[in-house]
Amino acid sequence: MLEARLQTGALLKKLLEAIKELITDANFDCSDNGIALQAMDNSHVALVALLLRHDGFEPYRCDRSLALGVNLLSLSKVLRCAGNDDIITLKADDTADVLSLTFENTDNDRISEYELKLMDIDSEHLGIPDTQYDAVVSMSSAEFMRICKDLQVLSDSVQIDVTKEGVKFAAKGELGSGAVTLKQSANVDKEDDATLIELQQNVSLNFSLKYLVNFTKATPLSTRVTLSMSGEVPLLVEYKMEAGYVRYYLAPKIGEDN
């Protein structure tokens, strides 16, 4: 039996927006730890890992581990029926083939209940092991989104160079080239806009912009984003939330071949 009550329903809505472009169907693995999802995108280049820790819910109850197979498009359609301020409660029986969702609006005492048919998804459970990265850049998520979108005009891929001075995003294409450099700054006044770099070693890597732009759909979830990079290891783009995270892994582009 799973029962999870989420005070800010908007969080779930934003989460869905952040992943539904990459993944069509996935299992939500519910355990006493919280609700997690790990899945690879259709072209096997990116992986999404999401976690909502149990302490983000009030209350949270999960008697035994459950895998809830969900078509993300359908779920996001149902979630569209929830208001941003609604309290969302997720419920599922141990052997259930439906996920029930309750949306409560405290202002006008409106309670709506939905049931979503679950899917039986047979897939392997994949994860990327934690590693020590050569460079970790922490920056404004809005800034990251803007850079990705701007550079996409020029090219399909972006080169990210990290040195102790700063981080440089550069793209070169048919119509020209462009580069955005962010200097390492400790902006005390506006903590959210600061760019912080932890560096073991300089890195210079290439990534597909199409995917990065897709990742920035998670921007509403957090004001900050961290990019963790090492040579020939997937890039980790992480959006941290109060009680959980969304992580995207993206394989580096090697030469011309992707």
Write out the residues near another protein by the rule CB under 8 A.
21-22, 25, 27, 29, 31, 40-47, 64-67, 69, 71, 117-129, 210-211, 233-234, 249-252, 258
Pick the closer one to another protein by CB: 43 or 84: 43
Contacts of 255 (CB under 8 A, 6+ apart): none
Contacts of 185 (CB under 8 A, 6+ apart): 194, 195
User: What is the signed CA dihedral for 98, 18, 246, 77, rounded to 10 degrees?
Assistant: -10
The tokens describing 61, both together, are 């109850």
Q: Which residues pair with 48 in a beta bridge?
A: 39, 248
Pick the closer one to another protein by CB: 197 or 218: 218
> Cβ of residue 125: shortest distance to another protein, in angstroms?
4
The closest alpha carbon to 137, from 111, 108, 160, belongs to 160
> Cβ of residue 14: shortest distance to another protein, in angstroms?
19
Pick the closer one to another protein by CB: 3 or 143: 3
Other beta carbons within 10 angstroms of residue 170's beta carbon come to 18
> Cβ of residue 40: shortest distance to another protein, in angstroms?
7
> Cβ of residue 33: shortest distance to another protein, in angstroms?
11
Residue with tokens 């090492």: 230
> Cβ of residue 24: shortest distance to another protein, in angstroms?
8
> Cβ of residue 83: shortest distance to another protein, in angstroms?
28
Pick the closer one to another protein by CB: 45 or 182: 45
User: At 126, which amino acid appears?
Assistant: L
Sheet-wide strand order for 157-162: 176-183, 166-173, 157-162, 203-208
Peptide bond into 129 cis (omega under 30): no
Pick the closer one to another protein by CB: 121 or 194: 121
Pick the closer one to another protein by CB: 11 or 236: 236
Per the CB < 8 A criterion, the answer to whether 5 and 59 are in contact is yes
